[in-house]
């Protein structure tokens, strides 16, 4: 029992709960003094939309206390505190041995990568379960078992949990892979790396706590004025996203420093793997733009707490300003989600086709092209919002421009596949499906980017289908491909192929049916984000099909988890270069030891020259 | 920098400071007489450029380090510098967002504020940057006493700035009826000054940490990354105020 409570994670959670209560009690005490001594009129305790026992300010301050306490409890700030006090710390901290190391503040980038990935899978499951609940509710017209507020809360939490889970998933992949791919012993700032991971955990707790604290009904976008009036859960949502944003920002900072400073000898910019290029592009967006979603959410938090009328027209505020600040992050964020996935596609495709990646330089630069253009398109989410009309057309064209660098990637993939010796183990299947589904998502983009059609499609299920296609094609499929591909690197065993193929052949058709039907009902007029629809619209059958498809996807992911658990213990051993890759991490036995390569590696050629006789990419060892 | 002699480096810091003082005076003059937002912006950019180059040593980022051992202190120092600058880049987007909010919501107007007090707190922050530079240069030349004096002065001026903004300016504004909920001008004023004051407060914490470690002799001429980081951060907070001061006090018409 004592051993259980000494785990960093458990200790952190206990600290978070206790200090949230202490913080809230502290604010209540101050309010009590203000009331009893100075005659202020304010509530101490109450039960209504914005006060679940404690008042709203008490909960917010308690939430902040709780996050700090979690970080202290888990031990992620120990070394920094020691440095501030002028104490020395060991240069290479040791993890606790065995599985316990995964529950504490490890500084090994591979452990942190796996921590990120597992947390991401957990949040994805929770978010997916929420989707199943409200998908079940939508099977028939009429309200079955959810009341509208709970429906809205689940729908909103599904959105934000999936987003946080994707952010953690790409952080996991980048953390695990980038130091290996560039030949570094670890990330540039190992302690900051640990901090970036652990701060995402209290953020997830805050997000989930909104369920118990009245929920919120705005969707993940949190637009005021609705979010100013929403129940208390709204504040926990804002605070949770704000804290999760720090995870993203600091992780990106670390990654950029790692790539710029710790590449192996001989690894010039145009010898870097494509995944490293995409990770850099993604990190530049996360590093800078994330601050603006944090700011916009903070402004609403203060509007709720102190009556600061940033977005309240009655006080001279402007609700459209929120949307500009919010989308300045939240649109580039979708490139944060998909760029690493597209990088994985480009990384794996040549391995399974045994041909050089077509147009390497163009593919490398296209990621930065997407990132840069991505900064200039945010207002295409606001065509129907009442913003200045002259902004519409420029944003329409900048949005359509994204198709150019994305098209470069597609041409490269198709040309790489052309006349290749294609092998199709599970990772390659997921890559191929990823390309196809992302194409669906890409082709349904221009109708949304074009003002005249968007005014009709805005806020319909067509949009829902479009972005699920981009997220699945750009993230989910490549992410699963990456897990099937690099699982042997991490564990020395490989995932079961039969179960893997079952996972694939259940998930892919089910997902394609789901997203196409979403677009179908959307075109016919089904609004998004609503708990119910009129039976006379004739959508019942379509929704039944979508619900069944959703359950098939859930079943396939369940099979994946079973595969994970079985294979980690009994999977076939695979310690060598399982996929005949040229990448440095596969030239040494799996699993990798701490601090990676025993000898510094040297890059002597181009990364993707598969099938070219006598070409060498990397020299490992002497 | 290591090759130059110490007093010439200190004199450079002083010259930069005097330029900044003159430019700040010029800003006040421009606002009172010409009222040109363009001129004010250009002056602020000039000031910020001077601080970035001379006080924050932005050119250190461009040092060629290809021949340095990866495990050496010098190489890790370079990585630390890059990390800090990336953080500042990220942080500047918060302040940039606040500037966007200010110009979107208030346009060519500004809140009615006490001009003398605004100039006074700006001067306090400017002088604190001067002492911060002295403290850092002193440490670079192994002059511990100069470092301790400079850091203590910066710390005190930092407190004075906080007292001036949060203690006096906020109270005066509330007295005049400019409260967080009185309207969007009040909201912007408290949000911008509050966010900046929060950063000053964290800077004060860093200064307290390097002061206590410096008192115990933890820094040397060769190894004082903590001092450099605190100094660069402090100057960054100053750069933010270089833009916030005209945005809140000088540009546009009051009321």
- A306 to chain B, any CB pair closer than 8 A? The answer is yes
| Segment A395-409, tens digit of pLDDT | 999 999 999 999 999
Q: Name the A residues in 311-340 with CB < 8 Å from any B CB.
A: 315-318, 321, 324-325, 328
Q: Which of the four pLDDT bands, split at 50, 70 and 90, describes residue A622?
A: low
Q: Is the pLDDT of residue A427 over 90?
A: yes
B 37-96: CB under 8 A from A: 70, 75, 78-79, 82-83, 86-87, 89-91, 93-94
pLDDT value at residue A96: 74
Span A103-129, average pLDDT: 95
Compare CB distances from B190 to A294, A308, A324 and report the shortest one's residue: A308
Q: Where are the domains of chain A?
A: 1-89, 106-619
Kindly state the average pLDDT of the residues A581-609: 91
> For every residue of A562-579, which 3-state class applies, written as one string?
HHHHHHHHHCCECCCCCC
Q: In 3D, which of A137, A257, A141, A237 has the Cα closest to residue A191?
A: A257
What tokens does A154 get? 């689940």
The candidate with the shortest Cα–Cα distance to A188, out of A285, A253, A245, A246, is A253
The single-letter DSSP state of residue A592 is: P
User: Which is nearest to A113 in space by CA: A192, A170, A164, A185?
Assistant: A170
ipTM, two decimals, is: 0.95
Rg of chain A (C-alpha set): 25
Q: Return mean pLDDT, chain A.
A: 94
Biggest CA–CA distance in chain A, Å, is 86
Is residue A311 over pLDDT 70? yes
Candidates 3.40.50.720, 1.20.1440.230, 3.90.1150.10, 1.20.120.80; correct CATH number of B6-254? 1.20.120.80
Mark yes or no for CB contact B190/A299 under 8 Å: no
Q: Over the stretch A131-148, which tens digit does the pLDDT of each residue have? A: 999 999 999 999 999 999
Separation in Å, CA of B42 to nearest CA in chain A: 24
Binning chain A into helix, strand and coil, the percentages to the nearest 5 are 70, 5, 25
- Residue B82 C-alpha, separation from nearest chain A C-alpha, in angstroms: 7
Kindly state the percentage of chain A with pLDDT values over 90. Answer: 89
Each domain of chain B, given as residue ranges in start order, spans 6-254
Q: Which residues contact B64 (CB under 8 A, 6 or more apart)?
A: none
**What is the number of other CB atoms lying within 10 angstroms of the CB of residue A34?**
14
Does the pLDDT value for residue A22 go beyond 80?
A: yes
Rounded-to-integer distance, Cα B151 and Cα A292, Å: 33
User: How many angstroms away from the CA of B226 is the closest CA of chain A?
Assistant: 9
Q: What is the CA radius of gyration of chain B?
A: 19
Q: What is the pLDDT of residue A592?
A: 87
pLDDT at residue number B255: 62
**Closest residue by Cα to residue A543 from A561, A522, A557:** A522
Give the DSSP letter string of A47-73. EETTEEEE-HHHHHHHHHHHHHHHHHH
Given an 8 Å threshold on Cβ–Cβ distance, is B184 in contact with A306?
Answer: no
Query: Which of B98, B180, B216 has its CB closest to that of A86?
Result: B216
A261/B contact by beta carbon, under 8 A: yes
* CA-CA-CA-CA torsion sign (A254, A255, A256, A261): positive
pLDDT at B1: 46
**The tokens 């708990």 sit on which residue?**
A531
pLDDT tens per residue across span A281-295: 999 999 999 999 999
CB atoms inside a 10 Å sphere around CB A557: 19
Secondary structure element (H or E) that encloses residue A618, with its range: strand A618-619
Q: How many CB atoms lie within 10 A of CB A47?
A: 8
Query: What residues contact A50, with CB distance under 8 A and at least 6 apart?
Result: A56, A214, A231, A232
Would the pLDDT of A64 be above 90?
yes
**Residue B132, pLDDT score:** 97
* List of chain B residues whose C-beta atoms are within 8 Å of the C-beta of residue A321: 100-101, 104-105
A309, closest residue in chain B (CA to CA): B184
A247 in B contact zone (CB under 8 Å): no
* Fold that domain A106-619 belongs to in CATH: Cytochrome C Oxidase; Chain A (1.20.210)
Say whether B87 and A296 touch across the interface (CB within 8 A): no
CB contact under 8 A, A316 and B185: yes
**What parts of chain B have a pLDDT lower than 70?**
1-3, 255
The pLDDT score that the predictor gives to residue B220 is 94
Mean pLDDT of A428-444: 96
């Amino acid at each position: 029992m004592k051993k259980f409570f000494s785990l960093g994670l458990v200790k952190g959670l206990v600290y978070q709960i206790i200090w949230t209560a202490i913080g809230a009690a502290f604010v209540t005490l101050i309010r009590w003094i203000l009331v009893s001594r100075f005659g202020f009129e304010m509530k101490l305790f109450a039960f209504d939309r914005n006060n679940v026992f404690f008042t709203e300010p008490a909960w917010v301050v308690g939430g902040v206390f709780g996050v700090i306490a979690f970080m202290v409890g888990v031990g992620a700030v120990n070394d920094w505190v020691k440095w501030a006090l002028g104490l020395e710390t060991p240069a290479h901290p040791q993890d606790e041995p065995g599985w316990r190391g995964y529950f504490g503040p490890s500084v090994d980038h591979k452990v942190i990568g796996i921590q990120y990935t597992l947390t991401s899978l957990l949040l994805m499951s929770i978010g997916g379960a929420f989707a199943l609940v409200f998908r079940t509710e939508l099977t028939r017209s009429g309200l079955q078992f959810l009341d509208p507020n709970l429906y809205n809360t689940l729908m909103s939490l599904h959105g934000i949990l999936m987003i946080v889970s994707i952010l953690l998933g790409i952080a996991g992949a980048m953390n695990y892979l980038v130091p290996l791919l560039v030949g570094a012993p670890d990330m540039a700032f190992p302690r900051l790396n640990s901090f970036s991971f652990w701060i995402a955990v209290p953020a997830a707790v805050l997000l989930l706590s909104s369920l118990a604290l009245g929920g919120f009904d705005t969707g993940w976008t949190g637009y005021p004025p609705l979010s100013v009036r929403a129940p208390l859960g709204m504040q926990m949502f804002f605070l949770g996203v704000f804290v999760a944003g720090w995870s993203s920002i600091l992780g990106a900072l670390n990654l950029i420093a790692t790539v710029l400073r710790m590449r192996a000898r001989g690894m010039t910019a145009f010898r870097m793997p494509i995944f490293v290029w995409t990770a850099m592009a993604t990190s530049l967006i996360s590093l800078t733009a994330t601050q603006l979603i944090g700011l916009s959410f903070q402004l609403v938090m203060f509007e709720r707490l102190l009556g600061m009328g940033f977005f309240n027209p009655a006080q001279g505020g402007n609700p459209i300003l929120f949307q500009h600040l919010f989308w300045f992050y939240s649109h580039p964020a979708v490139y944060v989600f998909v760029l690493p996935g597209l990088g994985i596609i480009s990384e794996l495709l040549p391995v399974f086709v045994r041909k050089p990646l077509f147009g390497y330089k163009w593919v490398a630069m296209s990621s930065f092209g997407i990132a840069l253009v991505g900064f200039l398109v945010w207002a295409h989410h606001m065509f129907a919002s009442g913003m200045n009309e002259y902004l519409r057309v420029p944003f329409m064209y900048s949005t359509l421009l994204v198709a150019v660098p994305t098209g470069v990637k597609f041409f490269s993939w198709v040309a790489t596949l052309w006349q290749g010796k294609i092998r199709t183990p599970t990772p390659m299947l997921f890559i191929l499906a990823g390309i196809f589904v992302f194409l669906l998502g890409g082709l349904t983009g221009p109708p949304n980017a074009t003002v005249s059609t968007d005014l009709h499609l805005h806020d319909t299920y067509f949009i829902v289908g479009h972005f699920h296609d981009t997220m699945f094609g750009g993230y989910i499929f490549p992410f699963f491909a990456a897990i099937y591909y690099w699982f042997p690197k991490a564990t020395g065993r490989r995932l079961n192929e039969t179960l893997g193929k079952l996972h694939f052949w259940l998930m892919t058709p089910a997902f394609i049916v789901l997203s196409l039907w979403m677009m179908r009902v959307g075109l016919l007029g089904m609004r998004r984000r609503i708990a119910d629809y009129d039976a006379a619209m004739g959508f019942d059958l379509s929704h039944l099909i979508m619900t069944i498809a959703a359950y098939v996807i859930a079943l396939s992911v369940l099979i994946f988890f079973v595969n994970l658990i079985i294979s980690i213990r009994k999977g076939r051993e695979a310690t060598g270069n399982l996929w005949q890759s040229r990448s440095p991490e596969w030239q040494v036995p799996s699993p990798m030891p701490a601090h990676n390569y025993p000898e510094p590696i040297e890059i002597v050629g181009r990364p993707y020259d598969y099938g070219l006789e006598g070409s060498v990419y990397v020299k490992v060892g002497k | 920098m290591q090759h130059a002699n110490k007093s010439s480096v200190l004199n450079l810091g002083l010259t930069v400071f005097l330029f900044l003082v003159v430019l700040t005076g010029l800003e006040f003059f421009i606002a009172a007489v010409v009222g040109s937002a363009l001129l004010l912006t250009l002056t602020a950019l000039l000031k910020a450029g001077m601080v970035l180059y001379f006080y924050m040593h932005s050119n250190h980022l461009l040092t060629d380090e290809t021949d340095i051992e990866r495990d050496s202190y010098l190489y890790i120092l370079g990585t630390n510098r890059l990390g800090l600058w990336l953080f500042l880049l990220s942080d500047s987007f918060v302040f940039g967002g606040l500037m966007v909010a200010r110009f979107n919501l208030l346009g060519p107007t500004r809140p009615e504020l006490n001009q003398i007090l605004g100039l006074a707190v700006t001067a306090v922050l400017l002088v604190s940057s001067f002492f911060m530079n002295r403290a850092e240069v002193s440490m670079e030349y192994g002059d511990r006493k100069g470092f301790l004096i400079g850091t203590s002065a910066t710390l005190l001026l930092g407190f004075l700035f906080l007292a001036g903004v949060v203690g006096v300016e906020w109270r005066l504004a509330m007295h005049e009826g400019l409260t967080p909920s009185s309207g969007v001008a009040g909201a912007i004023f408290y949000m911008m000054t509050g966010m900046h004051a929060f950063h000053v407060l964290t800077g004060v914490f860093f200064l307290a940490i390097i002061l206590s470690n410096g008192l115990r002799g933890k820094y040397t001429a060769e190894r004082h990354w903590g001092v450099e980081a605190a100094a660069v951060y402090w100057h960054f907070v100053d750069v933010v105020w270089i833009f916030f001061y005209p945005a809140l006090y000088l540009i546009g018409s009051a009321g």
